[in-house]
Amino acid sequence: MENKGIPLIGDRFPELKVSTTHGPMTLPDELSGKWFILFSHPADFTPVCTTEFYAFQKRYDQFRELDTELIGLSVDQVFSHIKWTDWIRDNLNVKIEFPIIADTGKVADMLGLIHPGSPTHTVRAVFIVDPDSKVRAILYYPAELGRNFDELLRMIKAFKVSDDQGVAMPANWPNNELFGDDVILPPPSSEEDAEERRGQEGCLDWWLCHVPLED
């Protein structure tokens, strides 16, 4: 059943026509066939957000190598985004290459980006959307905590392996304390399947099996 409120994991990302620093965009159709990360920040010209934009841009090539686009968002006008990214370019020597949505508050409402702890600004939200325009992950951070962008790279890599190989990823993958970079087999689908797994190499029990990554 499709959720009609704020998008949740498994929902299709809602249709949005937005103004950005790269001109108008229609989401998710314009990025269909690619992964994308839409992330909101509280406001332009704020310190933590500035460090976040720097960190995201520094990893932009790595995201593009994973066929993943980035889109920023805040309730600020395009001219403010431009002035701020010009400041980042002139002072931190980094050109922000990804588009930033200039929201009037409409998208923030639709995506659930205004929370009680931050009623006047969008929270730091992250939506990870797959090539079929399906929401695969949603993260929320408060204003006082900058995000970990290496974790977002890890998530995209993990989703791709999970989708390609039909497996799940253990904690801290690929540096799991028990299984290294091995991946987890999904639960058995029958008693026969479960029985087969008993005593199988890599199975601690019939419901807990790890296997090496396929090449």
Residues in touch with ligand BEZ (CB under 6 A): 42-43, 46-49, 121, 143
Minimum distance of ligand BEZ from residue 156's CB (angstroms): 24
Q: Output the six-digit token pair for 58.
A: 């520094």
Annotation says 209 is catalytic: no
Q: How far apart are CA 185 and CA 178, in angstroms?
A: 15
What is the nearest approach in angstroms of ligand BEZ to the Cβ of residue 45?
A: 9
Q: How far is residue 146's CA from residue 5's CA, in Å, rounded to a whole number?
A: 27
**Nearest of 28, 39, 144 to residue 100 by alpha carbon:** 39
DSSP 169: -
- Which of 43/137 has CB closer to ligand BEZ? 43
Which tokens in the block code for residue 21? Answer: 């620093």
CB of 122 vs ligand BEZ, minimal distance in Å: 10
CA distance 139 to 182: 25
Give the burial class of 150: count Cβ atoms within 10 A of its Cβ; 0-12 exposed, 13-18 middle, 19 or more buried. exposed
User: How far is the CA of 108 from the CAs of 16, 46, 48, 123, in angstroms?
Assistant: 11, 19, 20, 9
Between 46 and 80, CB nearer to ligand BEZ: 46
Closest approach of Cβ 121 to ligand BEZ, in Å?
Answer: 6
How many beta carbons lie within 10 A of that of residue 89, not counting itself? 13
- As to burial, measured by CB atoms within 10 angstroms (0-12 exposed, 13-18 middle, 19+ buried), residue 66 is middle
The distance of closest approach from Cβ of residue 138 to ligand BEZ in the complex, given in angstroms and rounded to an integer, is: 20
Q: Could you tell me if 110 and 73 are in contact, meaning their C-beta atoms sit under 8 angstroms apart?
A: no
Catalytic residue among 18, 31, 38, 49: 49
Taking the least distance from each CB to ligand BEZ, the nearer of 121 and 210 is 121
Tokens of 155: 């998530």
Known catalytic residues are: 49
